[in-house]
Amino acid sequence: MAWNIVIAGGGFGGLQAARTLERVLPPHSARITLVNDVNFMLYTPLLPGAAAGTLEPRHVVVPLREQLRRTDLRLGTVLGAAPAQRCLKVRSHEGHTEDLHYDHLVVALGSVSRTLPVPGLAQHGRGFKTLPEAIALRNHVLGCLEAAETLEDPRAREPWLTFVFVGAGYAGLEGAAELQDFAVDVLDLYPRCRTQGVRFVLVEARDRVMGEIPESLARFATAELRGRGMEIRTSTTLEAVGADSVTLSGGDTIPARTCVWTAGVKPHPVVAKLGLPLDKGGRIVVGRDLAVTGVEGVWAIGDAAAVPDPAKGGKQPTPPTAQHAIRQGRRVARNVAAALGRGRKRPFRYRTLGVFVDMGRGEAVAQTVGIKWRGGAAWWLARSYHLAMMPSFGRKLRLLVDWNVGLLFGRDTAELGQLGHPQGLDDEHVLTATSGGGTPEG
């Protein structure tokens, strides 16, 4: 009888686990099922490019069915699990709930934005973790420029032209850099806004940006962004967000209608409903072999798991990065195969070989096998790396075309916030509600 292997989550870790299992297990020895709530994997390092209009949104995702040969892809939402019965509860795409029984379960459900109880953040803050959030942000920036252009008074224009990013990790720094680049690029088309300029503020609670990269590279990134006119406020926290203001620690209030929250992640909330042991941060407790501690037949990887980091002597969990999730996906597949009698179980051993931080405008910082790179060379390396990591020739070509078209012809400035939300056939009330509303939303 074939074994049942279920993978919950088809992102960086889950997709890699499925592909490796297809390779290492003989056909018909196991039924592999991958459950994901959408039929694609989001390639998050390219999200800032999609938000800034350099990349077509469809080109920063990887359709799962194109990548899987023998895996059964189930579109659905994981609702919970009963490890004692070896069953995963899933609500299918068409709405009915079913129990998926497994011999081995790999949990790879990723993370969501970690918000703090800052007054006004939930109502007025914007996330930057998903494709809809990134595209909404791009449309919002264009909407702000359109709104500012209609105003006579420069003081009234100011909040529309000020953009605050909170959290200077990958998402915040790359997102702010690309969005600023985008806004500056299109500013020429808005005569009133052009004379006033746009203001970008990057706020970080720690004493430097990008804790993930060496300090000298972080200094270079800071100098580069400051040189472009971006304000970088380190050792500063967000105190409150209003509809048209952002208050920082020290009492400084910035007139701004945009506050983007990129200050860290936490495991997906459904992880707490799986009946598995969790650490203080809510991540699933696993051993060095990625098996969940004390639960037979369950494994966990990626942002949802507290995997002991070999680079830190196993004393801290691995950082929530795609690089780690991919390697954990490969390792967990081999360890599951070993548990089924194929090959040997081994501990997760990966140490980061390189980091890339793309700041747009041909500038980046990078570190590869101990060598530090900055400027154009780092930017070229970063793009080559993502090109190499993007699966399939067709998808690589799409990236190449987008990047080169962007370099030659600049970015598209159409605000397509209504895309995918058509009005009903006789929606007169919708027409009245949306025309002249003046609130630029994506």
Ligand X SMILES: Cc1cc2nc3c(=O)[nH]c(=O)nc-3n(C[C@H](O)[C@H](O)[C@H](O)COP(=O)(O)OP(=O)(O)OC[C@H]3O[C@@H](n4cnc5c(N)ncnc54)[C@H](O)[C@@H]3O)c2cc1C
Asked if 200 interacts with ligand X (CB under 6 A), we say no
* Interface characters, 381-420, with ligand X (x: CB under 6 A): ----------------------------------------
With CB under 6 A as the contact rule, the residue among 77, 115, 196, 413 that binds ligand X is 77
In the complex with ligand X, the residue whose CB is nearer, 45 or 159, is 45
Q: Which two tokens stand for residue 388?
A: 């190499």
Q: How many residues bind to ligand X according to rule CB under 6 A?
A: 33
Instruction: Compute the distance between CA of residue 386 and CA of residue 400 in angstroms, rounded to an integer.
Output: 11
Q: Which two tokens stand for residue 123?
A: 């109502």
In the complex with ligand X, the residue whose CB is nearer, 44 or 245, is 44
- DSSP string covering 59-80, please? GGEEEHHHH-SS-EEEEEEEEE
* Interface characters, 348-377, with ligand X (x: CB under 6 A): ------------------------------
Cβ proximity of 269 and 123 under 8 Å: no
Report the interhelical angle of 393-409 vs 375-389 (nearest 10°).
150
Q: Which stretch binds ligand X (CB under 6 A): 38-46, 157-165, 359-367, 426-434?
A: 38-46
Q: How far is the CB of 128 from ligand X (least distance, A)?
A: 6
Cβ proximity of 61 and 10 under 8 Å: no
Instruction: Compute the distance between CA of residue 174 and CA of residue 128 in angstroms, rounded to an integer.
Output: 11
In the complex with ligand X, the residue whose CB is nearer, 187 or 389, is 389
Cβ proximity of 384 and 241 under 8 Å: no
With CB under 6 A as the contact rule, the residue among 5, 7, 30, 47 that binds ligand X is 47
With CB under 6 A as the contact rule, the residue among 320, 417, 440, 442 that binds ligand X is 320
Instruction: Compute the distance between CA of residue 163 and CA of residue 260 in angstroms, rounded to an integer.
Output: 8
With CB under 6 A as the contact rule, the residue among 268, 327, 383, 395 that binds ligand X is 268
Q: How far is the CB of 330 from ligand X (least distance, A)?
A: 12
Instruction: Compute the distance between CA of residue 389 and CA of residue 113 in angstroms, rounded to an integer.
Output: 24
In the complex with ligand X, the residue whose CB is nearer, 148 or 176, is 176
Asked if 267 interacts with ligand X (CB under 6 A), we say no
The residue ranges that bind ligand X (CB under 6 A) are 9-14, 35-38, 41, 44-45, 47, 77-78, 108-110, 128-129, 170-171, 268, 270, 302-304, 320-323, 325
